[in-house]
A and B are shown apart, each in its own frame.
Chain A
């Protein structure tokens, strides 16, 4: 059976893509310049909105390719895991929500597409909220055994 997990060579690009998405996503808000982050040596690029925009798209492409390539296998994999159902299902659902809102925003940015202001606002705020939930759930999944949740199964490795 094909593994639902990323192979070891795939994990680092995936982790790097998530990190780039988090930083470039936060940087979509005009905060890095205001709060002196862009003043730190080597971090002036965090205030370059065009660069952040491109980085966000490119990192999304990398992550989408890696994760969706494991999705068919994942569908038959998650059942036996020792984490509670809300966590097991919550992570992929949040991820799907992030992808859906991200792609909707991508489509909206095309010159031919025009969406209602309410929908655009819902997409933008939804994407921001889901990104925060994604981080929270990732932490929970990573530390479940350590914070009083059920222990991992014998031999089960912690995954990113």
Chain B
């Protein structure tokens, strides 16, 4: 499949919908193009192949903590340890960046079971990256949001500000051990990085590649959004992730409204909700514009003030000259 066919497949509405995972291995998206994923929940059978593929592909990134953990000050700060629960697959953990959330619902007189691969949604205005005080979490040009495990101190601010509390902490690992482990930091935060290395080398994220049902697709955001809308329209489906938190690069299409799914799923730590999410940083652009314009406005006002003062001085001198 050449590049043109790849893009064509993405934009071809219903015809494109039949394709199982539009991008194929070997297709390398142009650098800097914002990519998004589409998850068609009609297709997901909950087999867990994506979960296993994710674990395998990212195994070398999983933490190997040093124990015992440094004692924390103050005592309310507790270490978080999943290293003995590495087999956990029913929630997000530092060792499980993707899990299947299942909802059994009655919808339009029919009992339905829906499975949803859940992971980081890769927000367009990611609070985790924009509010990380340390530069450890960041959004890349292709829209992926990553946490750098070499820099992260594990303060978990990213989890606190994430509308879905996605990043998960493992203590006893990372830079904080070399700084002030008792006083600051508490490990490293982990989450889906959308298989950045595989994408960069022309491959697909492991979860997409492994899916036998073609639940997920990845491609340029514009095309993915168009396809998600077309799919929702064609199937009478509902969208999640398109506008949530100001827009994300993960768009779910479901045959059942998400409020119905949200009511049916098991929620809690590592098990994100499906509620509507208003843009947490929607005022960011206005604030940024004000901050960027303030120095210019101030300088202009100061220059005007100087000119006015110089004019007044000149007038006074002229007045004094006339008196003489």
Contacts and interface: CB of A to CB of B under 8 A. Distances in A.
Interface in A1-38: 1-2, 28-31, 34-36
B161 interface: yes
A43 interface: no
A2 to B, nearest CB: 4
B160 interface: yes
Interface stretch (B48-56, B79-87, B278-286): B278-286
B194 to A, nearest CB: 14
A30 B160 contact: yes
Given A28-B131, A34-B76, A68 B294 contact: yes
Interface residues of B, number: 50
Contacts of A60: 291, 294
Contacts of B155: 29-30
Given A68-B299, A69-B302, A102 B308 contact: no
A111 B294 contact: no
Interface in B254-296: 280-281, 283-285, 287-288, 290-292, 294-296
Interface stretch (B6-14, B93-101, B135-143, B202-210): B135-143
Tell me the interface secondary structure of chain A in the complex: helix
A43 to B, nearest CB: 16
Instruction: Say which size band chain A's interface belongs to.
Output: 35 or more
A99 B287 contact: no
Which of B148, B157, B161, B298 gathers most chain A CB within 10 Å? B298
Contacts, number: 131
A95 B131 CA distance: 22
Contacts of B298: 64-69, 71
A29 B77 CA distance: 15
Given A69-B299, A73-B302, A121-B151, A106 B124 contact: no
Contacts of A99: 295
Contact of A120 (B138, B290, B292): B138
B303 interface: yes
B112 interface: no
Nearest to B140: A114
B156 interface: yes
A57 B290 contact: yes
Contacts of B131: 28, 49-50, 53
A88 interface: no
A34 B160 CA distance: 13
Contacts of A61: 290-291, 294
Nearest to A67: B298
Q: Which of A31, A72, A99 has the most CB of B within 10 A?
A: A72
B302 A36 contact: no
Nearest to B141: A114
Contacts of B76: 34, 36
Contacts of A107: 288, 292
Contact of B297 (A2, A31, A65): A65
B135 A35 contact: no
Given A64-B295, A110-B285, A121-B134, A73 B74 contact: no
A130 interface: no
B125 interface: yes
A111 B313 CA distance: 48
B178 to A, nearest CB: 15
A99 to B, nearest CB: 7
A103 interface: yes
B157 A117 contact: no
Interface in A74-119: 99, 102-103, 106-107, 109-111, 114-115, 117
B291 A111 contact: no
Interface of B: 32, 74, 76-77, 124-125, 127, 130-131, 133-136, 138-141, 148, 151, 155-157, 160-161, 184, 280-281, 283-285, 287-288, 290-292, 294-299, 301-303, 305-306, 308-310, 313
Closest 7 CB pairs of A and B: A68-B298, A64-B294, A2-B309, A30-B155, A121-B135, A120-B135, A28-B133
13 contacts: A64-B294, A68-B296, A68-B298, A69-B299, A71-B299, A71-B302, A73-B309, A103-B292, A109-B281, A114-B32, A114-B140, A117-B135, A124-B135
Given A50-B161, A114-B32, 15 more contacts: A30-B156, A35-B74, A53-B130, A57-B288, A57-B291, A60-B291, A65-B298, A68-B295, A69-B301, A70-B302, A72-B305, A73-B302, A73-B305, A110-B285, A117-B135
